[in-house]
Amino acid sequence: PVDKDWWRGAVIYQIYPRSYQDSNGDGIGDLAGIIHRLPHVASLGADAIWISPFFRSPMKDFGYDVSDYRDIDPMFGTLGDFDAMVARAHELGLKVMIDLVLSHTSDEHPWFRESRTSADNPKSDWYVWADAQPDGSPPNNWLSIFGGPAWQWDGERMQYYLHNFLSEQPDLNLHNEEVQDELLSVVKFWLDRGVDGFRLDTINFYFHDPELRSNPALALEARNDSIAPSVNPYNWQNHLYDKNRPENIAFLKRFRALLDEYPAAAAVGEVGDDQRGMEIQAEYTSGGDKVHMCYDFAFLSAAQPTGKRIGEVLSKFEKTVGDGWACWAFSNHDVVRHASRWNMSEAEQRLYAAILVSLRGSVCLYQGEELGLTEAYVAFEDLQDPYGKAFWPKFKGRDGCRTPMVWVRDNATGGFTDGKPWLPVAVEHLERAVSAQEDDAASHLNFYRRLLAFRRHHPALVKGTMSHLQATDEMLSFVRQNGDERLFCAFNLTNAAQPVTWPEGQWQIAVGAPFEAPGDGQDALLGPWQAVFATDA
Ligand code: TEU
Ligand code: CA
């Protein structure tokens, strides 16, 4: 029997296909390379993989600019390779989630090519077109996340078109039902090919205000802090009109109805909104009739969360999102790797990893996180990311977390490729290559394996409720409960010993807990960067 609920509490391992494993020496990772490395993912104890886009694309935003939703870019392989990859993943017990970018296409997509030819062709309304203001300026004040206005003048159609990201990523007009139908047929195409689910890119950007009202300025205290507004002016605006529109709910219901025609398909929607992220998550995931979960941004920003901050996020989540579900992450292909972002020691990284897998929700791990990889320095000459090029040097872009995965220590490219890697391999990563950690019981990699095995063996951690939350700057603790199993989880977020405040009852250290027990009694101090997991059975 299929487990319809597999996504609830799943550990999802994110693969950035360009940088995972090259199989043909062109310096770019590919699907055949992923097939070769899937046993690594399975050995880690992940439940699913999420693969960043591999569709046909001019690669202006490295695959997030799709020119054919129903084909694999030749750089990554063929549909045959894709089918083989799904089959291999399933053999290894891994679900496959693919990354659908439905908010925008590439400007080279045939739909856009047609749309831009005139104001009255069959696809003329498939994108968001608007006239210039009398003085020739864009229709309103909307900004692109990647810099400049969100409007690009098109000399062919003599109108502006909307793009929330690059000008080579024109926004689709989902107010048009034909566009919705076509996108849903893309979803069906991949479901019929056997995928288990989707990561939906920028799900809250699907709809814009049809009246094209300008965004108001944002109150100081409500700013997005992932990239400072002084660097990116986008973060000075309150995005009331260019995204987060109410029409999205009806579309997400259509999407979900389609998924529910399949035995166990699930979706995680990306909601990268620091201002109302939690409220939007609640709207999109509650009720079980829209997306299954939202990808949460609370821990992807610059500041390292203290116990207190984590506690605030969790209690707000419990209050706001209710029966909805989150997917938590510390790293991905868009942000500085968290080992560096939070400047953590090895012990600290392990403690934070333990916190991540103990939160109520699903978890995304980003390739290399299991090795403890740090952010790579990528010099301007080697820079590939258009976002980085736009804001260099105040913001160095996203290449530092996209450098190749390291498999083999004694190899100049870490075993990633026989050719010249598309981004340089970070020399300091080599000592953390899989080959260097594989057989060392004390390695970061083997710690992650124990951690995930521990989580898997405790349904309270996977699907349980959360209660008894206590949070200070130094200590975080809560109880996770599923059926009869109650698991007390306490984390010392400092480099000094801390007392634990135990909930009422008799607690004993859980079998297989991935940290040393803090002595034998409940009153013992918790050592620096230590966690304790205890059952009351
Ligand atoms: O990222 C969306 C994105 O850029 C948000 O995280 C953004 O920073 C936030 O909404 C600002 O409030 C996704 C992909 O992950 C990224 O790689 C793509 O470049 C982007 O969409 C465009 O498709
Ligand atoms: Ca290749």
Atom of ligand 1 nearest to the CA of 104: 23
Per-residue pLDDT of the chain in tens (537 residues, 90 and over written 9):
789 999 999 999 999 999 999 999 999 999 999 999 999 999 999 999 999 999 999 999 999 999 999 999 999 999 999 999 999 999 999 999 999 999 999 999 999 999 999 999 999 999 999 999 999 999 999 999 999 999 999 999 999 999 999 999 999 999 999 999 999 999 999 999 999 999 999 999 999 999 999 999 987 766 656 678 888 999 999 999 999 999 999 999 999 999 999 999 999 999 988 788 999 999 999 999 999 999 999 999 889 999 999 999 999 999 999 899 999 999 999 999 999 999 999 999 999 999 999 999 999 999 999 999 999 999 999 999 999 999 999 999 999 999 999 999 999 999 999 999 999 999 999 999 999 999 999 999 999 999 999 999 999 999 999 999 999 999 999 999 999 999 999 999 999 999 999 999 999 999 888 988 776 667 778 999 999 999 996
Residues 412 and 473 in one domain: no
> Which residues in 279-348 belong to E strands, given as ranges?
293-295, 326-329
- 144, 212 Cβ separation under 8 angstroms: no
Residue from 168, 201, 296, 348 carrying the catalytic annotation? 201
The CATH number that applies at residue 71 is 3.20.20.80
Q: Which residue has the tokens 């003085």?
A: 135
Q: Could you tell me the residue range of the domain that residue 306 belongs to?
A: 11-103+177-208+243-454
Residues 325 and 383 in one domain: yes
| 305 Cβ neighbours under 8 A, 6+ residues apart | 298, 299, 313
Distance of alpha carbon 195 from alpha carbon 197, whole angstroms: 6
Residues 380 and 511 in one domain: no
Residues 436 and 484 in one domain: no
| Residue 208: predicted pLDDT | 98
Distance of alpha carbon 206 from alpha carbon 413, whole angstroms: 39
Tokens of 171: 């926004």
Q: Determine the residue type at 13.
A: Y
By alpha-carbon position, which residue is closest to atom 1 of ligand 1?
202
145 lines ligand 1 (CB under 6 A): yes
Residues 349 and 368 in one domain: yes
Compute the 3-state secondary structure of the chain and give helix, strand, coil in percent, each to the nearest 5. Answer: 30, 15, 55
By alpha-carbon position, which residue is closest to atom 10 of ligand 1?
272
Distance of alpha carbon 230 from alpha carbon 242, whole angstroms: 21
165 lines ligand 1 (CB under 6 A): yes
Tell me if 115 is assigned to some domain: no
Residues 424 and 489 in one domain: no
Mutation test residue for ligand 1: of 14, 15, 64, 299, the one with most atoms within 8 Å of CB:
64
Distance of alpha carbon 165 from alpha carbon 148, whole angstroms: 10
Tell me if 98 is assigned to some domain: yes
How far, CA to CA in Å, does 9 sit from each of 292, 362, 364? 11, 4, 10
Tokens of 80: 């045959």
Residues 381 and 441 in one domain: yes
Tell me if 167 is assigned to some domain: no
Residue 261 bears catalytic tag: yes
**Nearest ligand to the C-alpha atom of residue 165:** 1
Length of the chain in terms of residues written: 537
209 lines ligand 1 (CB under 6 A): no
| 419 Cβ neighbours under 8 A, 6+ residues apart | 22, 25, 26, 27
Query: Is this structure's pTM higher than 0.90?
Result: yes
Tokens of 147: 């810099």
Distance of alpha carbon 475 from alpha carbon 69, whole angstroms: 47
| Domain end among 454, 476, 511 | 454
Tell me if 497 is assigned to some domain: yes
Residues 352 and 494 in one domain: no
Atom of ligand 1 nearest to the CA of 398: 17
> Cα of 272 to ligand 1 centre, how many Å?
7
Instruction: Check residue 115 and report its DSSP letter.
Output: H
Residues 352 and 330 in one domain: yes
| 91 Cβ neighbours under 8 A, 6+ residues apart | none
**Count of CA atoms in the C-beta half-sphere (13 A) of 304:** 19
By alpha-carbon position, which residue is closest to atom 17 of ligand 1?
334
> Cα of 202 to ligand 1 centre, how many Å?
6
Burial 82-100 (b: 16+ CB within 10 A, else e): bebbbebbeeeebbbbbbb
The CATH number that applies at residue 495 is 2.60.40.1180
Atom of ligand 1 nearest to the CA of 224: 12
Tell me if 142 is assigned to some domain: no
Distance of alpha carbon 537 from alpha carbon 534, whole angstroms: 9
| Domain end among 412, 427, 454 | 454
201 lines ligand 1 (CB under 6 A): yes
Number of domains, the chain: 2
Tell me if 385 is assigned to some domain: yes
273 lines ligand 1 (CB under 6 A): yes
Tell me if 516 is assigned to some domain: yes
Residues 82 and 202 in one domain: yes
* Residues 425-435: tens digit of each pLDDT: 999 999 999 99
**Nearest ligand to the C-alpha atom of residue 73:** 2
> Cα of 18 to ligand 2 centre, how many Å?
8
ipTM of the complex: 0.95
> Cα of 192 to ligand 2 centre, how many Å?
26
Q: Determine the residue type at 436.
A: A
364 lines ligand 1 (CB under 6 A): no
Helix (H, G, I), strand (E, B) or coil at 290: coil
By alpha-carbon position, which residue is closest to atom 3 of ligand 1?
272
Residues 410 and 493 in one domain: no
Residues 468 and 447 in one domain: no
Tokens of 356: 């991540």
| Residue 222: predicted pLDDT | 65
Tell me if 431 is assigned to some domain: yes
* Residues 116-142: tens digit of each pLDDT: 999 999 999 999 999 999 999 999 999
287 Ramachandran zone, left/alpha/beta (phi>0; psi -120 to 50): left
**Nearest ligand to the C-alpha atom of residue 31:** 2
Residue 73 bears catalytic tag: no
Mutation test residue for ligand 1: of 105, 109, 202, 236, the one with most atoms within 8 Å of CB:
202
**Nearest ligand to the C-alpha atom of residue 25:** 2
- 127, 179 Cβ separation under 8 angstroms: no
> Cα of 494 to ligand 1 centre, how many Å?
32
Residue from 135, 221, 261, 381 carrying the catalytic annotation? 261
Atom of ligand 1 nearest to the CA of 64: 23
| Domain end among 454, 477, 501 | 454
